[in-house]
């Protein structure tokens, strides 16, 4: 007769409004027995930290697959994406990744964004290099009711090209056109999830708010970013080799914090395929 494994999820809060630390062993996590509880806790807390779990690439892929539908990014044939600003290690994406230094949600150019990302640390930065997260569910929940009424039905335009202005405010026309060729995407400012909860859809890809002047748009976009990334809703993870952090891409924003681009900082990422469009 087969033995039925019974493990209990061991977790502790990082901050009142965001984040939990998972203390289970590698064996327990890879068994898949805890997958349902992990998914539920992720939606509640926004991010989960697995300190020095030391997954190999194969183990990280296997763990990701226990949690939902794996979203492959086969940049090296192993479904692992290498995240680094080192142009030697990642020549094709290093320039694009400069936009990751600013608050964003992955997939705002898609109708169905990824559900979650899992990032493991192989080489930490020599200085800086934390990853910041903020809980956009909690940020929405804590807005005053009159402010929610003003914002709830607004629509925004997102694009890749606005992110260029954050790190290269005077880009060449060729560079600008290249980024603009990706196009734009109209999205709700407030994501009304099938669970009944709501979260903010903002970040450095947000170009303008429809029906508002440029000045009004900027005040809404930057004001909400300032609110959502304030201390009570945010967490900055200082990486150690072997750490893995998982975040709910549908209810958080994230960014890499500044570091020496030549230091060799290396992260390996896997993703879960999304199952919920921005608009139901």
Provide the 3-class DSSP secondary structure of residue 221.
helix
**pLDDT per residue over 39-95, tens digit each?**
999 999 999 999 999 999 999 999 999 999 999 875 554 588 888 877 676 666 556
Dist CA 81 CA 59 (whole Å): 14
**pLDDT per residue over 233-276, tens digit each?**
999 999 999 999 999 999 999 999 998 888 989 999 999 999 99
Q: How many domains does the chain have?
A: 1
Dist CA 132 CA 19 (whole Å): 11
User: What H or E segment, with its residue span, contains residue 116?
Assistant: strand 116-123
Q: Does residue 5 lie within any of the structural domains?
A: no
Q: Does residue 242 lie within any of the structural domains?
A: yes
Instruction: Give the CATH number for residue 87.
Output: 3.60.130.10
Full domain range(s) for residue 15? 11-272
Q: Which two tokens stand for residue 174?
A: 């060729």
Q: Does residue 280 lie within any of the structural domains?
A: no
């Amino acid at each position: 007769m087969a033995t039925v494994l019974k493990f209990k999820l061991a977790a502790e809060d990082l901050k009142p409004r965001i984040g939990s630390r998972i203390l289970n062993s590698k064996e327990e996590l890879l068994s898949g027995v805890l997958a349902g509880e992990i998914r539920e806790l992720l939606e509640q807390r926004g991010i989960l930290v697995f300190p020095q779990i030391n997954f190999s690439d194969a183990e990280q892929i296997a763990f990701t697959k226990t949690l939902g539908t794996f979203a492959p990014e086969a940049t090296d044939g192993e479904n692992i994406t290498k995240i680094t600003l080192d142009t030697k290690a990642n020549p094709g994406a290093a320039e694009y990744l400069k936009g990751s230094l600013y608050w964003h949600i992955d997939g705002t150019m898609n109708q169905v964004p990824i559900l979650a990302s899992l990032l493991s640390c192989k080489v930490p930065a020599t200085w800086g290099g934390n990853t910041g997260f903020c809980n956009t569910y909690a940020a929405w929940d804590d807005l005053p009711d009159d402010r929610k009424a003003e914002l709830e039905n607004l629509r925004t335009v997102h694009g890749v090209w606005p992110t260029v202005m954050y790190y290269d405010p005077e880009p060449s026309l060729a560079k600008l056109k290249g980024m603009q060729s990706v196009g734009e995407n109209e999205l709700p400012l407030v994501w009304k999830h099938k669970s009944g909860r709501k979260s903010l859809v903002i970040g450095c890809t947000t170009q303008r708010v429809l029906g508002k002047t440029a000045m009004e748009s900027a005040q809404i976009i930057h004001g909400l970013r300032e609110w959502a990334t304030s201390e009570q809703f945010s967490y900055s993870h200082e990486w150690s080799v072997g750490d893995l952090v998982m975040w709910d891409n549908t209810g958080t924003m994230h960014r890499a914090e500044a570091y020496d681009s030549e230091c060799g900082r290396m992260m390996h990422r896997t993703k879960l395929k999304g199952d919920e469009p921005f608009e139901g």
